[in-house]
């Protein structure tokens, strides 16, 4: 495969003579490295784990942006600031997950092109993703700045924290184009098997975010506005590091100025994958946003507790989601190479990895739920917040098995290109979770959210598991 990819690179590079030889050798070295991450052959479990671990670490560092903001806000500014970042969290997640959804959808296509050895289409797909996405993210920024106050009024945000929440969100909206740019470039790297480089950049910028927060808020005593600016600055740095690395080290993904254009045919395909995935990614935080409305009726202490436990939930879900993304790339590459049987074996191995992770996760959360809550808030007035958080985490620890399986089967359907199926499954889960939340929260308090989540996940599996076996039967029979 390495030789095939080098030949395609030479044919499409636009260089000749000694330049071709020089760039050919460089490309050859890079493709040898990439071939080590080629998932169309070799040990399946080892490939899934080695691909997943950098994704897990990278996303944990990305989540650390919000978590560090919440921790520092809770410890150095107070419960109102912790509640304010909690209000902003679901809105930020809608933006981030919507953006990453578009990029994940495009990543499925790029993985398929890489698996089949078509570098020309890989580069055209990346160009289409970057140019169209830049326009899209700028529009999002403008809309966010204009409608932030009506949005917060719709969410019944308490008047005592309305203004600081609005200020926080306006600054976050400014960083949306950089968030998109980073996600697009990191997804391009992941599609060709490099999940480690984006991790390195996120490690750097997450540490930068934490250091800036501690210095300006913890040491100098600045308020929540400073927290928003440090997060935005970190997003800018991560985008620029990814850009510089690709243009210096990865010529197969480096786009010249004249290549930066939209391929209309690919844009249509990208939207059919990416827009559905983005909508699917956004359904979950939209559901959280609606659930936040139910939580807001329970008082500031519960709002603060819910902010903390959802941050912990995000950390808990991330490895499950990243195992799913590894399964998606594995399945897409193998189907692109015509290895359907291997693709199905990868799916089963992925579910085993999901189960092992759940057992570890449940043990940790049950043992450390009180310690985890103390990370977010301490001091006077923190006891009610910590007590509410402990109740939630103790219950949820037993229920994390359900998202392990829903994420796994979602990874399969993304890998085979069934984006509408993933969207429908997510919609079933998120919408029922919201409905059950409003029914159960008045009776069970914050723990009612746990029960509502479990019911949503079960209904999602009742839809997708039978469809998986139907699809598998039809798919393998067509290959015979």
Q: How far apart are CA 337 and CA 40, in angstroms?
A: 7
Most confident by average pLDDT, 9-13, 20-24, 283-287: 283-287
- Closest C-alpha to 448, from 298, 304, 284: 298
**For range 320-328, the mean pLDDT:** 90
Q: What is the DSSP string of 163-204?
A: HHHHHHHHHHHHTHHHHHHHHHHHHHHHHTT--HHHHHHHHH
Dihedrals phi, psi of 422, to nearest 5 degrees: -65, -40
Single pTM value for the model: 0.62
Which residue has 């092992």 as its token pair?
356
- Are the C-beta atoms of residues 71 and 376 closer than 8 Å to each other? yes
Burial of 257 (0-12, 13-18, 19+ CB in 10 A): exposed
Alpha carbon distance 343, 47 (integer Å): 12
Evaluate if residue 3 carries a pLDDT over 60: no
Average pLDDT over residues 274-288: 70
187: nearest Cα among 278, 77, 291, 120:
278
Band (95; pLDDT cuts 50, 70, 90): confident
Q: Are 183 and 100 a contacting pair, CB within 8 Å?
A: yes
| Mean pLDDT of the 128-145 span | 86
Is pLDDT of 364 > 70? yes
**Furthest C-alpha separation in the chain:** 76
pLDDT averaged over the chain? 78
pLDDT value of position 398: 94
Give the end-to-end CA distance of the chain in Å, rounded to a whole number.
25
Q: What is the mean pLDDT of residues 288-296?
A: 76
216-242 residue pLDDT tens: 766 665 666 767 787 788 888 888 998
8-state DSSP, 376: T
pLDDT at 71: 66
Confidence of residue 352 (pLDDT cuts 50, 70, 90): very high
| Distance (Å, whole) CA 306 – CA 401 | 21
Q: What is the mean pLDDT of residues 306-324?
A: 86
| Burial of 273: CB neighbours in 10 Å, binned 0-12, 13-18, 19+ | buried
Instruction: Give the pLDDT of residue 251.
Output: 75
Q: Which residues contact 364 (CB under 8 A, 6 or more apart)?
A: none
**Which own/partner pairs from 46-50 qualify as long-range (CB within 8 Å, at least 24 positions apart)?**
47/330, 48/323, 48/326, 48/327, 48/330, 48/346, 48/349, 48/350, 48/353, 49/353
pLDDT (mean) for 95-118:
74
Structure tokens at 476: 């393998």
The sign one gets for the Cα dihedral 75, 224, 69, 94 is positive
Alpha carbon distance 109, 115 (integer Å): 10
The pLDDT, as a whole number, for residue 314 is 82
Q: Within a 10 A sphere around the Cβ of 451, how many other Cβ atoms?
A: 20
CA 337 to each of CA 43, 345, 372, 422, 473: distance values in angstroms, whole numbers, following the listed order:
16, 15, 45, 23, 20
Given pLDDT bands bounded at 50, 70 and 90, which one contains residue 394? very high
What distance in Å separates the CA atoms of residue 216 and residue 60, rounded to the nearest whole number? Answer: 23
**3-state percent helix, strand, coil for the chain, nearest multiple of 5:** 85, 0, 15
pLDDT on residue 16:
37
Nearest to 197, CA basis, from 252, 246, 257: 246
Which of 251, 193, 335 minimizes the C-alpha distance to 8?
251
Residues 6+ apart with CB under 8 A from 389: 305, 308, 309, 369, 372, 373, 376
206-210, 308-312, 326-330, 439-443, range with the lowest pLDDT: 206-210
pLDDT at 180: 86
């Amino acid at each position: 495969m390495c030789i095939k990819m080098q030949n395609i690179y030479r044919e499409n590079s636009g260089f000749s003579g000694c330049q071709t030889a020089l760039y050919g050798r460089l490309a050859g070295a890079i493709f040898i490295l990439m071939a080590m991450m080629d998932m169309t052959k070799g040990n399946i479990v080892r490939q899934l784990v080695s691909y997943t671990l950098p994704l897990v670490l990278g996303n944990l560092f990305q989540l650390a942006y919000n978590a560090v903001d919440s921790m520092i806000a809770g410890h150095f500014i107070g419960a109102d600031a912790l509640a304010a970042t909690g209000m902003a969290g679901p809105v930020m997640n809608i933006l981030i997950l919507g953006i990453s959804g578009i990029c994940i959808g495009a990543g499925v296509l790029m993985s398929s092109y890489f698996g089949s050895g078509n570098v020309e289409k890989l580069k055209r797909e990346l160009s289409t993703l970057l140019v169209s996405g830049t326009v899209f993210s700028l529009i999002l920024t403008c809309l966010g700045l204009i409608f932030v106050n009506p949005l917060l009024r719709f969410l019944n945000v308490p008047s005592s924290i309305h203004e600081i929440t609005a200020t926080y969100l306006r600054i976050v909206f400014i960083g949306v184009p950089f968030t998109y740019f980073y996600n697009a470039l990191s997804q391009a790297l992941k599609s060709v098997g490099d999940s480690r480089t984006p991790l390195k950049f996120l490690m750097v910028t997450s540490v930068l975010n934490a250091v800036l927060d501690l210095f300006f808020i913890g040491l100098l005593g600045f308020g929540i506005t400073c927290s928003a600016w440090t997060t935005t600055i970190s997003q800018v740095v991560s985008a620029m590091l990814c850009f510089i690395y690709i243009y210096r080290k990865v010529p197969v993904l480096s786009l010249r100025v004249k290549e930066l254009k939209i391929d209309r045919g690919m844009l249509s395909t990208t939207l059919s994958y990416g827009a559905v995935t983005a909508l699917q990614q956004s359904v979950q935080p939209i559901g959280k946003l609606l659930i936040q409305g139910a939580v807001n009726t329970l008082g500031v202490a519960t709002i603060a507790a819910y902010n903390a436990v959802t941050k912990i939930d995000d950390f808990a879900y991330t490895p499950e989601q990243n195992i799913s993304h590894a399964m998606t790339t594995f399945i897409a590459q193998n189907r692109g190479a015509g290895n359907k049987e291997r693709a199905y074996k990868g799916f089963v191995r992925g579910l085993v990895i999901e189960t092992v992770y759940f057992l570890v996760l449940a043990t940790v959360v049950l043992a450390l739920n009180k310690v985890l809550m103390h990370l977010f808030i301490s001091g006077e007035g923190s006891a009610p917040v910590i007590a509410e958080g402990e109740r939630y985490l103790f219950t949820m620890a037993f229920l994390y098995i359900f998202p392990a399986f829903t994420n796994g089967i979602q990874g399969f359907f993304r890998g085979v290109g069934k984006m509408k199926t993933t969207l429908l499954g997510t919609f079933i889960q998120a919408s029922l979770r919201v409905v059950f939340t409003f029914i159960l929260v008045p009776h069970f308090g914050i723990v009612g959210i746990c029960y509502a989540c479990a019911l949503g996940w079960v209904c999602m599996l009742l839809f997708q598991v039978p469809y998986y076996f139907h699809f598998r039967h039809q798919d393998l029979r067509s290959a015979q």
